[in-house]
């Protein structure tokens, strides 16, 4: 495993080695995950709701809007995706607001593996990453060999980031080690000679960044989400991601808050910083700002960058752009003043 090791934690390797004990056997892993502090649902939801009442105005709002735009994984994950659709999305990612060149570009374009090459080509030297949902997205119900092939293909086509889904069935039936080993295997499949990676401090980039998708709506309990967070981080996830966007319950403020607390505790324990990506259902500026407030007050400045926090979204960008226009002109425009791609 080649985790992201921030400069402030030189002893991370040692601490990780000690933690290796907990992944030595199925029962050790189970004991560890079930020994994590419980989650009180009422308290967690109350805290998330409380953070949602922060009033972000004027300069703080302008800052938050630009930050949110720069954190977007602009996404198209439809069966009907075509190269034309993907190229249009890439163009939008590079220049979100044709009328205002100060609008920042997005962090990444997120597509299915077969569209990676198209996106890579369309983005050129923009610096925007290509993220790809590999590993039999969104169900994750395929043989390990299929998942690894899916991943390898996306990486070979130039994907900078791999968004993998876990096998929720395996997790829910308690086969934690199976999930752990799958993540490890996919992480190895992310390795690529001479590729680019944003992995801070990893020096040179030899692997696509791995985001592990839990599908929180199917994990169902908050205790499961915390256990899954630790499981994924122990297995080497660079990011943990709430959901695929394909089920009824996707990212919510409470389940994202819980994952933020998990990455904070993981860094405290191990010295390794992991990113968080809520995905699905975040459509408005107001919602996005609430998530940024949550990051700000739970993790602080260290995570307030596209390197460590992302929004998985397709329609959020336009609302951010309309709010951005409102702040600069003093007037609301309308949906025809932002592009539809």
Partner 1 sequence: MTSTHQKFAYAPAPESRAIVDLAPSYGLFIDGEFTEAADGTVFKTVSPSTEEVLAEVARAGEADVDRAVKAAGRAFTKWSALPGAERGKYLFRIARILQERSRELAVLESLDNGKPIRETRDFDLPTVAAHFFYYAGWADKLDYAGYGPNPRPLGVAGQIIPWNFPLLMLAWKIAPALATGNTVVLKPAETTPLSALFFADVCRQAGLPRGVVNILTGYGDAGAALVAHEGVAKVAFTGSTAVGKAIARTVAGTRKKVTLELGGKAANIVFDDAPIDQAVEGIVNGIFFNQGHVCCAGSRLLVQESVQDEVLDALKRRMSTLRVGDPLDKNTDIGAINSPEQLARITALAEAGEAEGAERWAPACELPESGYWFAPTLFTGVTQAHRIAREEIFGPVLSVLTFRTPAEAVEKANNTPYGLSAGIWTEKGSRILSVASKLRAGVVWANTFNKFDPTSPFGGYKESGHGREGGRHGLEGYLSEAAGPTSAHDGHLQALPGGEREGERDR
The residues binding partner 1 (CB under 8 A) are 37-40, 42-44, 46-47, 53-61, 63-64, 66-67, 70, 104, 261, 292, 296-297, 301, 304-307
Q: Which is nearer to partner 1, 37 or 84 (CB)?
A: 37
CA-based torsion, 297, 302, 306, 307: positive or negative: negative
Which residues, other chains included, contact 103 with Cβ-Cβ below 8 Å and sequence gap of 6+? Answer: 66, 69, 95, 96, 97, 321, 324
Q: Which is nearer to partner 1, 83 or 104 (CB)?
A: 104
CA distances from residue 272 to 226, 231, 339 in whole angstroms, order as listed:
17, 14, 39
Q: Which is nearer to partner 1, 34 or 141 (CB)?
A: 34
Q: Which is nearer to partner 1, 177 or 259 (CB)?
A: 259
- Shortest distance, CB of residue 54 to partner 1, whole angstroms? 6
Q: CA-to-CA distance for 83 and 136, rounded, in angstroms?
A: 20
Which residues, other chains included, contact 335 with Cβ-Cβ below 8 Å and sequence gap of 6+? Answer: 318, 322
Strand, coil or helix: 290? helix
- Shortest distance, CB of residue 261 to partner 1, whole angstroms? 5
Among 61, 92, 211, 241, the one annotated catalytic: 241
| Catalytic (active site) residue 85 | no
- Shortest distance, CB of residue 82 to partner 1, whole angstroms? 30
Of residues 37, 4, 91, the one with CA closest to residue 223: 37
| Catalytic (active site) residue 277 | yes
Among 277, 287, 307, 319, the one annotated catalytic: 277
Q: Which is nearer to partner 1, 52 or 195 (CB)?
A: 52
Q: Which is nearer to partner 1, 137 or 291 (CB)?
A: 291
Q: Where are the alpha helices (DSSP H) in the chain?
A: 12-19, 26-34, 41-51, 58-70, 83-94, 116-123, 144-156, 168-172, 176-189, 216-219, 222-234, 253-270, 285-298, 316-329
- Shortest distance, CB of residue 268 to partner 1, whole angstroms? 8
3-state DSSP percent of the chain in helix, strand and coil, to 5: 50, 10, 40
Token pair listed for 203: 């020096």
- Shortest distance, CB of residue 146 to partner 1, whole angstroms? 35
| Catalytic (active site) residue 241 | yes
Q: 100 with 65: CB under 8 angstroms?
A: no
* H-helix or E-strand spanning residue 313: strand 311-313
- Shortest distance, CB of residue 19 to partner 1, whole angstroms? 17
Question: Which residues form the catalytic set?
Answer: 163, 241, 277
């Amino acid at each position: 495993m080649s985790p992201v090791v921030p400069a402030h934690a030189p002893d991370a390797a040692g601490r990780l080695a000690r933690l290796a004990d907990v992944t030595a056997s199925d029962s050790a892993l189970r004991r560890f995950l079930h020994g994590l502090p419980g989650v009180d649902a009422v308290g967690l939801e109350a805290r998330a709701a409380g953070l949602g009442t922060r009033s972000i105005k004027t300069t703080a709002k302008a800052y938050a809007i630009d930050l949110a735009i720069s954190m977007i994984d602009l996404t198209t994950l439809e069966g009907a995706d075509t190269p034309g659709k993907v190229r249009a999305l890439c163009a939008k990612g590079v220049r979100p607001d044709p009328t205002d060149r100060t609008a920042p570009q997005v962090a990444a374009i997120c597509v299915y593996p077969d569209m990676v090459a198209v996106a890579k080509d369309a983005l050129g030297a923009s610096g925007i990453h290509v993220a790809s949902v590999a590993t039999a997205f969104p169900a994750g119900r395929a043989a390990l060999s299929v998942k690894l092939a899916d991943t390898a293909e996306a990486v070979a086509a130039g994907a900078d980031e791999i968004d993998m889904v876990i096998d929720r069935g395996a997790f829910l039936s308690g086969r934690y080690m199976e999930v752990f080993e799958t993540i490890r295997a996919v992480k190895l499949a992310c390795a690529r000679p001479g590729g680019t990676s944003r992995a801070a401090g990893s020096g040179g980039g030899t692997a696509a960044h791995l985001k592990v998708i839990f599908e929180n709506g199917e994990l169902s309990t908050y205790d499961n989400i915390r256990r899954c967070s630790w499981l994924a981080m122990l297995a080497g996830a660079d990011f943990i991601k709430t959901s695929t966007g394909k089920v009824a319950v996707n990212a919510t403020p409470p389940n994202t808050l819980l994952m933020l607390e998990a990455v904070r505790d993981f860094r405290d324990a191990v010295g390794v910083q992991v990113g968080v990506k809520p995905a699905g259902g975040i459509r408005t500026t107001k919602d996005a700002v609430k998530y940024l407030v949550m990051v700000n007050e739970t993790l602080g400045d260290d995570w307030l960058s596209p390197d460590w926090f992302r929004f998985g979204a397709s329609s959020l960008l336009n609302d951010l752009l309309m709010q951005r226009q409102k702040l600069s002109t003093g007037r609301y425009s309308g949906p025809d003043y932002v592009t539809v791609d």
